[in-house]
C-alpha cells in the first residue's frame, strides 16, 4: 500500500474524528461552521453489512471475522465530494461525517473544521481516560507465590 500524502492523512484523521464523535456534538459544531451548507446527496444515508476481516496477532493470513452493520453517505458541496461512514444504524452520523469531509476540503472552511476535529479528538481522549479510570478501580492484580519446592527451578 502506498504511503499517505499530507492531505490524505489529514482527511483520514478528520473522518475518524467525525465517525467517533457524539452525533449531537458533531451536528452543533458543523452548524456553527456552516449554518446552511446546501449540499446535494450523491448517495443518501443508507445502512448495510460489510465483511470484517482480521489477522491473528496482526500477522499471517487474513480471515473473515464476521459481518458488521455500517452506515454510509456521499454528498457534493461546492464541487467537493464528501464521504462519511459510521458503525451501526447511524444514518445521521454518516451524513454529518460526509458534510464535515466536504467542508474540510473547502479552503475557507478548512481551518474551522481542523479546529472542530481537534476539539472532538480531545473530547474522545477525555472519555477514554474516564473509562480507563473506571476500569482501573475494578482491576484485579494476580500474582504467583513461589512455593518452597520450586526454589531450584
Non-local CB neighbours of 47 within 8 Å, separated by 6+ positions: 69, 70, 71, 72, 88, 89, 90, 91
In a domain, 149, yes or no: no
In a domain, 103, yes or no: yes
Full-model pTM: 0.79
In a domain, 142, yes or no: no
Count of structural domains within the chain:
1
In a domain, 145, yes or no: no
**Structure confidence by residue, pLDDT tens digits, 82-141:** 999 999 999 999 999 999 999 999 999 999 999 999 999 999 999 999 999 888 878 777
In a domain, 51, yes or no: yes
- DSSP assignment string, 10-37: HHHHHHHHHHHS-HHHHHHHHHHH-SS-
Using an 8 Å Cβ cutoff, are 86 and 70 in contact? Answer: yes
Could you tell me the residue range of the domain that residue 94 belongs to? 6-137
Amino acid at each position: 500500500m502506498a504511503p499517505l500524502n499530507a492531505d490524505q492523512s489529514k482527511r483520514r484523521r478528520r473522518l475518524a474524528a467525525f465517525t467517533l464523535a457524539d452525533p449531537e456534538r458533531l451536528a452543533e459544531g458543523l452548524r456553527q461552521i456552516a449554518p446552511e451548507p446546501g449540499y446535494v446527496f450523491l448517495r443518501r444515508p443508507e445502512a448495510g453489512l460489510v465483511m470484517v476481516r482480521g489477522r491473528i496477532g496482526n500477522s499471517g493470513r487474513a480471515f473473515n471475522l464476521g459481518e458488521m452493520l455500517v452506515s454510509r453517505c456521499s454528498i457534493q458541496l461546492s464541487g467537493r465530494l464528501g464521504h462519511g461512514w459510521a458503525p451501526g444504524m447511524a444514518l445521521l452520523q454518516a451524513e454529518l461525517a460526509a458534510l464535515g469531509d466536504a467542508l474540510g476540503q473547502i479552503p475557507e472552511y478548512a481551518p474551522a473544521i481542523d479546529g472542530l476535529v481537534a476539539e472532538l479528538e480531545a473530547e474522545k481522549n477525555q472519555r477514554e481516560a474516564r473509562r480507563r479510570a473506571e476500569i482501573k478501580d475494578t482491576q484485579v492484580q494476580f500474582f504467583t507465590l513461589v512455593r518452597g519446592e520450586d526454589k531450584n527451578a
